Amino acid sequence: MRRIEEILITFFSFLMIFLVLFQIVLRDIFHSGIMGGDALVRHLILWVAFLGACRATSDKTHIRIDIASRIIPQNKQYILNIAVDVFSILICAILFYSSIKFVSSEYSAAAKLSFLNIPIWIVQIIIPLGYFIIILRFIQNILGNKK
């Protein structure tokens, strides 16, 4: 799974760079552009961000606001880590549910990107998928947490 994330992050990052640079060349030299290219780049940013968040959660390098870790003794840190991960799961579960509702509303609207006539819900599916993977990673962190 980690390798797939790496490949997708790299591919989508290069695709975004290429599309943006190609748009610049087309606009400056040919006074045209790729129809829907800007919208596609915005959605690719979502993919890179969520895949990066999944990766960071797996590596335990995600952002943590954790003042209590400075107060609690080192031998009790695992309890704090579990509590933080459970809280993170709850927040991600709420966001997962909301994102499913959001993507299903986009599905119902049947809106499409101008670029290749792609349905918008397809490029936005990373939002609930990303939260789901992050939830699984937090569960994995809890199960792997040792005293």
| 113-140 residue pLDDT tens | 888 889 999 999 999 999 999 999 999 9
Q: What band does 23 get if pLDDT is binned at 50, 70 and 90?
A: very high
Q: Write the CB contacts of 9 (distance below 8 Å, at least 6 apart in sequence).
A: 48, 51, 52, 55
Across the range 96-111, mean pLDDT stands at: 96
Residue 129: CA atoms inside 13 Å, Cβ hemisphere, count? Answer: 14
pLDDT at 78: 85
Query: What does pTM read for this prediction?
Result: 0.86
Provide the pLDDT for residue 147. Answer: 56
